[in-house]
Structure formats: C-alpha cells, structure tokens
C-alpha cells in the first residue's frame, strides 16, 4: 500500500479528519464533491419555496423570522460551496453543473408551498430531517464538511423550532387554522421521509460512503431516527400523521411505518416533480440577472489588489 493510502487509512482508523492537502482516493474526492455540491444546491434552491411566503407572512414577527431563516439557508449554501471548493472544483463549475441538470438538489424542494402552514411544516419536518442527517455529518471524515456542519446544525435547530412554533400556533388557533396545519402535514410528511434517500438495499453510494466514514449512519437508520423523534411531536400538536400503518413497536422500540412511494421519489429526482422546472428556471434566471454584481465585485477586488500592489 502506497504511503498516501496508508496514511489515509490510518487517519480514518484513528477517527481523525482528512484535510484538503491530505492524499485521498479519487473516488473519495468525487463522492464528496457530488454530495457537498448537492447539499449546497439544496440549501440555495430551498430558499425559493420559503421565499415565496416572505411577502405574505401573517405578522411582522413571522416575516422577520422567515427572512432570517432564508438568509441562513443562503449562508449554508455558500459555506458548503466553500467546502466543495477545497476539493478542487470552482463555484462556477458547480453552478454550471446545477444549471445544466448534471448535479441535483434535494427532491423535497420540488413541492409547492400552498399555505402559510407550509412554512411551519417545512421548518418542523424538512429542517428536522436535515438536522437528523447533518448531526451525523458532523462526524464525517472530511474536515471542511464536518466543520461546516457545526454552524449549520446550530442554525437549523432555530429553523426547526420556529417551524414547530408556527404549527403550534395554528393548532391552537381556529378550526380552519388547525385544518391548514393538518393539510400541510399531509403534503410534507412522505416527501420529508424521502429526503433520507433510497432504502439501504437500493442505495448506490452508502456502502462505500460508510466505509470511507463520509456517511456514519445508513439512510434507513436516519429515517427511523427522524420518525421516532417526530411522531410524538405530531401527537403533541394534535395532528394525525398521514400513515395508517404507523404504530409503536414495543419489541423494536421504534415506530413501524408504511411503505414509501419510491415511484414518486424517483420521478421527482428525475425532474418530473410539481416544481422542478420552475425551481431550476428561477435559479438560472437569477444567476444571469446577478452577473453584474459578480462582475462588479471582481472588478473591485482587482482594483484593490492593484492598489495594494502599487
């Protein structure tokens, strides 16, 4: 075994982080570029469904909280793009891969946000699922990715709590408001379970990602963690999880739940979800509209460097 690979193995064994200047298998690098880029794209595209409701928030307080959350997501995206850049890709390359459909973002953001209750359901369920996954990623073997998760997880906790607070307010409101919360749960429950990816038996990357300690817990085990955490929260709200098979299994000490519609999942992943087209067209449009800002920033930076060099 070459020195580089031996040191890579030794670092993994010792639960130490692989850093950008360390030797790493090319497959390790490519898997991280794929996953970190997809994670970053998800954060940025994920700003659209919630941004859609900033101008329609019911109070100034809710508007301020939602604006702060959407701004956080932008920051998470930039953080993660920076982590991806340590692996030798540029931001422009990643943007082009997203805009041309050669890189993905999470399926969850291809569903429409039809009511204010969706802001609650997204914070509670989508950010709750993201936290479940991201807490695990804090133990990822790649240093820049694991360290990015520390700040992101702290901010996601605020996102999850503000979403749950919206749901609580609606559930303690009028019958119509509680019905709006139940409708949002009905529409966001199953797509949130899909966020964790296919079953372990169908997962393309899990076995290798677990061996490389990129993934520390399997898709199905994370999904189970999320269900076990979230069902009691739905009970407290007085809402019904839209799964007739959902039941506490005393022997397993977990909730049993029904089958996921993987046809729906793969259809959305392949671009046929309700909002795929709109999301990516919006992303391409704002990228083009923002070109002047990038050019101005680059020109300013160049002038400052020249001034410093003079």
Tokens of 71: 């701004």
Q: Which residues neighbour 32 within 8 Å (Cβ) at sequence distance 6 or greater?
A: 84, 87, 142, 145, 214
Residues listed for the chain: 310
Query: Among 121, 197, 212, 243, which residue sits at the site for ligand 3HC (rule: CB under 6 A)?
Result: 197
For 183, counting Cβ atoms within 10 Å of its Cβ (0-12 exposed, 13-18 middle, 19+ buried), the class is middle
**Do residues 24 and 214 touch, judged by C-beta distance below 8 A?**
no
DSSP string, 196-264: T-S-GGG-SSHHHHHHTTS--S-HHHHHHHHHHHHHHHHHHHT---S-TT-EEETTTTEEE-----HHH
Considering the rule CB under 6 A, would residue 35 count as an interface residue with ligand 3HC?
yes
**CB-nearer residue toward ligand 3HC: 24 or 194:** 194
Binding to ligand 3HC by CB under 6 A, coded x per residue (else -) over 3-32, reads ------------------------------
**Count of residues that interact with ligand 3HC, criterion CB under 6 A:** 30
Considering the rule CB under 6 A, would residue 276 count as an interface residue with ligand 3HC?
no
**CB-nearer residue toward ligand 3HC: 39 or 62:** 39
Considering the rule CB under 6 A, would residue 194 count as an interface residue with ligand 3HC?
yes
**CB-nearer residue toward ligand 3HC: 206 or 225:** 206
Considering the rule CB under 6 A, would residue 133 count as an interface residue with ligand 3HC?
yes
Q: How far apart are CA 217 and CA 280, in angstroms?
A: 30
Query: Among 33, 37, 44, 46, which residue sits at the site for ligand 3HC (rule: CB under 6 A)?
Result: 46
Beta bridge partners, 234, equal none
Query: Among 203, 224, 225, 230, which residue sits at the site for ligand 3HC (rule: CB under 6 A)?
Result: 203
Considering the rule CB under 6 A, would residue 43 count as an interface residue with ligand 3HC?
yes
Binding to ligand 3HC by CB under 6 A, coded x per residue (else -) over 148-177, reads --------x---------------------
Query: Among 125, 195, 234, 239, which residue sits at the site for ligand 3HC (rule: CB under 6 A)?
Result: 195
**CB-nearer residue toward ligand 3HC: 178 or 219:** 219
User: Hey, what's the torsion of the CAs at 256, 257, 258, 261, to 10 degrees?
Assistant: -130
Number of alpha carbons in the 13 Å side-chain half-sphere of residue 69 = 30
Q: How far apart are CA 188 and CA 6, in angstroms?
A: 45
**C-beta of 306: minimal distance to ligand 3HC in Å?**
39
Considering the rule CB under 6 A, would residue 198 count as an interface residue with ligand 3HC?
yes
- For ligand 3HC, which stretch binds (CB under 6 A), given 86-94, 198-206, 274-282, 299-307? 198-206
Considering the rule CB under 6 A, would residue 196 count as an interface residue with ligand 3HC?
yes
CA torsion through residues 217, 220, 225, 229, sign: positive
Considering the rule CB under 6 A, would residue 81 count as an interface residue with ligand 3HC?
no
**CB-nearer residue toward ligand 3HC: 45 or 237:** 45
Q: How far apart are CA 266 and CA 261, in angstroms?
A: 9
Beta bridge partners, 142, equal 18
- Phi, psi angle pair for 196, to nearest 5°: -80, 0
Tell which positions 103-132 bind ligand 3HC, by CB under 6 A.
104, 106-107, 126-127, 130
* Residues at the contact surface with ligand 3HC, assessed by CB under 6 A: 34-35, 38-39, 42-43, 46, 73, 76, 104, 106-107, 126-127, 130, 133, 156, 194-198, 203-206, 209, 215, 219, 269
């Amino acid at each position: 075994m070459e020195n580089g690979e031996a040191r890579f193995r030794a670092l993994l064994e010792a639960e130490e982080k692989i850093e950008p200047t360390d030797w790493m298998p090319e497959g390790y690098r490519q898997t991280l570029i794929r996953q970190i880029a997809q994670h970053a794209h998800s954060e940025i595209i994920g700003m659209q469904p919630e941004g859609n409701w900033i101008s329609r928030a019911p109070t100034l307080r809710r508007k301020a909280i939602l604006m702060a959350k959407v701004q956080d997501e932008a920051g998470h995206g930039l953080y993660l793009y920076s982590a991806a850049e340590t692996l030798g890709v540029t931001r422009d390359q990643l943007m082009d891969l997203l805009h041309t459909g050669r890189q993905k973002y999470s399926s969850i953001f291809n569903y429409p946000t039809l009511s204010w209750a969706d802001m609650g359901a997204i914070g509670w369920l989508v950010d709750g699922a993201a936290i479940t996954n991201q807490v695990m990623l804090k133990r990822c073997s790649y240093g820049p990715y694991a360290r990015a998760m520390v700040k992101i997880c702290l901010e996601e906790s605020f996102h999850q709590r503000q979403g749950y607070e919206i749901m609580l307010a609606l559930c303690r409101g009028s019958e119509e408001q509680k019905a709006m919360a139940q409708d949002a749960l009905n529409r966001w429950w199953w797509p949130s379970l899909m966020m964790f990816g296919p079953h372990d038996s169908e997962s393309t990357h899990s076995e290798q990602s677990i061996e490389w300690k990129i993934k520390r817990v399997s898709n199905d085990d994370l999904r189970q963690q999320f269900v076990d955490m979230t069902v009691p929260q739905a009970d407290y709200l007085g809402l019904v999880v839209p799964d007739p098979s959902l039941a506490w299994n005393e022997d397993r000490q977990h909730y049993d739940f029904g089958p996921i519609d993987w046809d729906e999942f793969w259809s959305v992943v392949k671009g046929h979800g309700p909002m795929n087209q709109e999301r990516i067209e919006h992303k391409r449009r704002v990228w083009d509209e923002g070109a002047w800002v990038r050019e101005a920033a680059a020109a300013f930076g160049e002038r400052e460097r020249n001034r410093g060099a003079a």
